[in-house]
A and B are shown apart, each in its own frame.
Chain A
Amino acid sequence: MIELNTQLVFFLILAIIAIACAVMVIILKKISHRVLSMAFCFFAIAGLYFLLRAEFIGIIQIMVYVGALSILFIFGMMMTDHKSVGFGPERKKIHKVLSFIGVGTLLGFMLYGILGMNLQPSDEQFIGSAEAIGIQVYGHYVIALQAAGILLLAALIGAIVLARKEAE
């Protein structure tokens, strides 16, 4: 018998929202509804981070995924023509069976990995605080951070060059 405390209740609510929204991304008809349910899914996952006391990671999840990525998707949706695009005819039965087996195997592996993990319960009040992550990122991984920055800069310049060319 699992003790039904507040934390568990919130976990169940958030987990159900996250899974339901993830399923809705696939089954809904309109693309605008899909993007929205995706945003809700990200939001529920941020709630799970908060529940795990990793508030910094949770808020970054909200800022990056809900605040930025979803908006980007909506802009993409507004700027492009998507009314005439479909997903093609219904797939054959063999496809369905194969994909079902593939997903089932993945689930099996993940469950094996998760159940095999040996996690010590920690007494720390906050996990992954801004300070701890800052020291890691700007201390131990500073070269990797710089490399990622240069990569993003290159992508940014590339996008600007492409956009300018089209405008001219």
Chain B
Amino acid sequence: MMDLIWIILYAVILLGALLGAVTYAILFERKVIGYMQVRPGPNRHGPWGLLQTIADVMKLLMKEDIIPTAADKKVFILAPVIAFVPSFAIFATIAWSENIYGADLNIGVLYFIGISSITTLGVLMGGWSSNNKYSLLGAIRGVAQVISYEIPLVLSIIGVVILVGSLNFRDIVFYQQEIGMWLIIPQFLAFIVYMISAIAELNRSPFDLPEAESELVSGYHTEFSGFRFAFFMLAEYVYAIAISALATTLFLGGWLGPAFLPGIVWFLLKMCLFMFFWFWLRATLPRARVDHLMGFGWKVLIPLALLNIVITAIIKVWMG
């Protein structure tokens, strides 16, 4: 019974922390892009624009709740929830530091990948139930992209798993501590493949085709407004944070770092580095074309990821 209370407490604290993190990630994104384009970014609400996102969220929550008449009502209501819940659930396995972690699952990496694939279902449901051609096209594009790029993403992780010999997040970090090297060095090829496919997986620029506003209005969530739209946005940003956390654990040694800061601070700093990287790309690169995107995923990234697995397996057997 005590365990159950701890689990619930952990989940509630994590949810609160995530909501705060997403709020300020959005501000961070707008500020970063602002400075890169030589303008101040949001600066009206609160000092340095600190209350801007809170004001935006308040506006979204107070909007009229609109469900289109032609929409499939039940599915329409369910879709944002199904898109958001897995994005939150995957945080259960992340090990923030040596002592702060949720579930110490043996299959942590698999759990992360498996649960996050459910969001695709939410996106498809949203696009389908809106009964709108832009939404449907956006959803089909989005799902085709996510499914295609999930393969190189998972294959690039396999290189790490082969080296470590475990799917547990904490074991992966302990292994990096043991060999005294972050896995980004022996697994550099995997890291590159991981970063590129993660951007496509997150539907972020330059691969933000599912919501290309010049072609599709705004993709699968065109018909969503108010707090349902907020849920989709929330899911998107929570995934950006989750993928950063996964990259930190797999390639940058998780909570490892010089001892003058506690482990969790190192973890969060490394995550911020990845978040900055996503925003930086968004500010600099133009959008890719849909056929280029698919060709690149299947003809370049997957062979590279497979090559990495073969090389890693040979090295692993060779080293014993």
Q: Interface residues, chain A, CB within 8 Å of chain B? A: 6, 30, 32-33, 36, 39, 43, 55-56, 59-60, 62-63, 66-68, 70-71, 74-75, 78, 126, 129-130
- Assess the B111–A130 pair: CB atoms within 8 A: no
- Assess the A71–B72 pair: CB atoms within 8 A: no
- Assess the A78–B74 pair: CB atoms within 8 A: no
User: In the assembled complex, which residues on chain B have CB atoms less than 8 Å from the CB atom of A63?
Assistant: 110, 113-114, 117
Interface 0/1 of B60-92, CB less than 8 Å to A = 000000000000101100100000000000000
B140 is an interface residue with CB less than 8 A from chain A: yes
- Assess the A30–B72 pair: CB atoms within 8 A: yes
How many residue pairs at the A-B interface have CB separations less than 8 Å? 65
User: In the assembled complex, which residues on chain A have CB atoms less than 8 Å from the CB atom of B75?
Assistant: 32-33, 36
- Assess the A55–B106 pair: CB atoms within 8 A: yes
Which A residue sits closest to B78, measured CB to CB?
A: A36
Interface 0/1 of B103-124, CB less than 8 Å to A = 0011100110111011011001
User: In the assembled complex, which residues on chain A have CB atoms less than 8 Å from the CB atom of B140?
Assistant: 75, 78
Bound-complex Cα distance A43 to B118 (A): 10
Secondary structure at chain B's binding surface: helix, strand, loop or mixed?
helix
User: In the assembled complex, which residues on chain A have CB atoms less than 8 Å from the CB atom of B128?
Assistant: 32, 74, 78
Bound-complex Cα distance A29 to B10 (A): 41
Q: Interface residues, chain B, CB within 8 Å of chain A? A: 1, 4, 72, 74-75, 78, 105-107, 110-111, 113-115, 117-118, 120-121, 124-125, 128-129, 136, 140, 143, 147, 167
CB distance from A58 to the nearest CB of B (A): 9
Task: Identify 21 residue pairs between A and B in the complex whose beta-carbon atoms are under 8 Å apart, listed by A's number.
Answer: A32-B129, A33-B75, A36-B75, A36-B78, A36-B125, A55-B105, A55-B107, A56-B106, A56-B110, A62-B115, A63-B110, A66-B117, A67-B120, A68-B117, A71-B120, A74-B128, A75-B140, A78-B128, A126-B106, A130-B107, A130-B110
CB distance from A144 to the nearest CB of B (A): 22
**15 further A-B pairs in the complex, CB-CB below 8 A; given A62-B115, A71-B120, A74-B124:** A6-B1, A36-B121, A39-B121, A56-B110, A63-B110, A66-B121, A67-B114, A68-B117, A71-B124, A71-B147, A126-B106, A130-B106, A130-B107, A130-B110, A130-B167
User: In the assembled complex, which residues on chain A have CB atoms less than 8 Å from the CB atom of B113?
Assistant: 63
User: In the assembled complex, which residues on chain B have CB atoms less than 8 Å from the CB atom of A59?
Assistant: 107, 110-111, 114
CB distance from A74 to the nearest CB of B (A): 5
User: Which of A6, A55, A56, A67 is close to B118, meaning CB atoms less than 8 Å apart?
Assistant: A67
CB distance from B91 to the nearest CB of A (A): 16
- Among B4, B75, B106, B143, which residue has the most Cβ atoms of chain A within 10 A? B106
